[in-house]
Structure 1
């Protein structure tokens, strides 16, 4: 167990210990207030060899990745290079085939594009081939007209947004390079990867899974769109996401690999109204616009099924407005990842949190005390102490 704690008297360290008692394998937590890392703790093991988790361990964070990808789009919107309400085909002409000519980036960010599916013949190897994915997406036919249904783009989100960004980048860089050079490096985020370097593979925490159902997906009540969005061939679960080729590919909807510190720092950009360490990434107005809920917020999603359909508290800008153990509220911008990785910001209160780990579970599989309950309590107490000064 290790920690760097500035205000918590070891409380976060104790919360990490409790999460390990409740089944966590390896975990990191980081808390930022303003520009400052105020608490950080880690513990457990990164793989079956017993390699200890430390501050340099990086973990697959699944859909927390979508926050980084959405921010890249907002950078291009802010620069006037993308109009979110213009057809995506304006920037990516081949995309407009087969009835997709009216889909906008705004539809994609709100998960209302009507094309949540992955290619029918996808494999892990093909998913790692950016050009192949783009060619397949160009041939998609919508399941629903854009803007008429909530259709969570569980995996495909990253290529939809990423190719729009790449096409509007004057340098036409690979999307992973754009994110690193235009989003991460300017604000000092050093360990959030869309494609892990070979020399960093040994730092990745290997996943173990306590998910339910095929590929971890609960399929009761599944729609055709739901099954197409999360095919078993590229299941969001440990077998696929422990592959080195998947770790090293740019999968900008689900394939990010990061430390909790880097996740907290990414969300600190939002918590600080678009600025971190005197570098402005986004305007305060753009960040505040992300707090607006998407249209049809209360209509059940056609992809997120399992028992009863539900709709996450999704904003119009691609971030969630709550739905994690860390809470919700009018100033919350967050994104959970499959298995309970979390990136969280409260724009009104100016703080952010990152939780990364290697045991995949859903709240449906928890009986008794939630493994993150003590962590949420510790974070709340740390923030209360800081605000009380």
Structure 2
């Protein structure tokens, strides 16, 4: 029997329901609201396809209206999980060969040192296009065709396939255009028709204006003094040719809280949903693939495809499946706070800038989603999101994450 929740906290009122087994998640959510400066958020968990946690609350702004059940927000790079799913669905249908050259689908791309790029390299961040050197025009991210052409014309930062570096924004068009070429539909439409609508998800890539009143604006993170000496921060500040600098500074003055950005189709960064939508998207993938993908495709989706001791963009150790993050334990890396995302070894999903996360765990048949409006500093999860993930695994009887993954 599910328990209902209605509680006033420092952040505001929180509501929802949960299986009593998952009370540790509820306690962590309350703690986030009371002591970790949560403003507004939603966490949702499914187990064997059944919702076992759905809690929301706080405020849509620090002094704003209440965060309602249907409040949504940008989930930044959690969007990559949706984009990758579209690519894997096409692969499962035989319409996109992950081992083929990109030029087989997108001939205009196969030039300037990119001729040997494989589709799989687009997904595992080894394609050599973590960003672009071309100075982007104002509003570039809102212009899909412009960004596709810029990427096709660029030279790679390294020979494709020899290393990986997080394609933080360019993933929207490297993978997104492959979805377009293979399916005949632009990414946002394919995702809506083939994933969001069939699963009943409140999740859009290219959001209609009617949704705008429900969107909680992002409260951007304040600089973290503890990260001032990180390799990423130093590259950002001192090396204008680095992927780290270009990734964040050459953005065409994108305003992620603007209507123009919400309406655009940025398949790496501007998906709009909530924890419920993220958990709902991953639920079939935690339970054999459902009607989305078959078992062989699902097995490939969750397998480590690329790992390194120093990601060329993030400048921390990283581990990726094809389009998804795997558990990353950087807790002992010097000068790298909030640079971990610790799940089980079987889990795969994606963190979003500021600390949102969605993932599937086929081992325990759990899916997880968390979104919020107050962004945390750092590259991956901050204390709020990791506390919720930790509580979920604790509730399921997992013993420890000392090994770098949650283990029984």
State whether TM-score is above 0.5.
yes
Matching residue of 1:311? 317
Q: Please give the residue correspondences for 1:332-371 in structure 2 after superposition, counting only pairs within 5 Å.
A: 332-363=347-378, 370-371=383-384
Matching residue of 1:146? 160
3-state SS of 1:331 partner = coil
Matching residue of 1:88? 102
Give 1:194 shift.
Answer: 0.4
CA separation of 1:347/1:235 partners in 2, compared to 1, >3 Å: closer, same or farther? Answer: farther
CA separation of 1:33/1:100 partners in 2, compared to 1, >3 Å: closer, same or farther? Answer: same
Give 1:102 shift.
Answer: 0.9
Tell me which of the two structures has the higher relative contact order, counting C-alpha pairs closer than 8 angstroms and 6 or more residues apart. Answer: 1
CA separation of 1:323/1:124 partners in 2, compared to 1, >3 Å: closer, same or farther? Answer: farther
Cα deviation code 1:191-244 (max 9, x no counterpart) = 11101111110111111122438xx995314563414641424289xx821111
3-state SS of 1:281 partner = coil
Conserved 8 A contact 1:119-1:137: no
Tell me, in whole angstroms, the C-alpha distance in 2 between the residues paired with 1:87 and 1:23: 47
Conserved 8 A contact 1:8-1:39: no
Conserved 8 A contact 2:341-2:380: no
The alignment covers a number of residue pairs equal to: 367
Matching residue of 1:75? 89
> Unpaired runs of 5+ in structure 1?
none
Conserved 8 A contact 2:22-2:395: no
1:157 aligns with 2:171: yes
What TM-score, normalized to structure 2?
0.83
Tell me, in whole angstroms, the C-alpha distance in 2 between the residues paired with 1:243 and 1:232: 18
Tell me, in whole angstroms, the C-alpha distance in 1 between the residues paired with 2:304 and 2:25: 32
CA separation of 1:329/1:365 partners in 2, compared to 1, >3 Å: closer, same or farther? Answer: closer
Matching residue of 1:38? 52
Conserved 8 A contact 1:211-1:339: no
3-state SS of 1:20 partner = helix
Tell me, in whole angstroms, the C-alpha distance in 2 between the residues paired with 1:181 and 1:235: 30
Match of 1:114 among 100, 122, 128: 128
Matching residue of 1:298? 308
Tell me, in whole angstroms, the C-alpha distance in 1 between the residues paired with 2:140 and 2:308: 35
Q: Once superposed, what is the RMSD of the aligned Cα atoms?
A: 2.7
> Unpaired runs of 5+ in structure 2?
1-13, 330-339, 399-408
Give 1:165 shift.
Answer: 1.0
Give 1:377 shift.
Answer: 4.8
Q: Please give the residue correspondences for 1:165-244 in structure 2 after superposition, counting only pairs within 5 Å.
A: 165-169=179-183, 172-189=184-201, 191-212=202-223, 218-222=232-236, 224-227=241-244, 229-234=246-251, 240-244=255-259
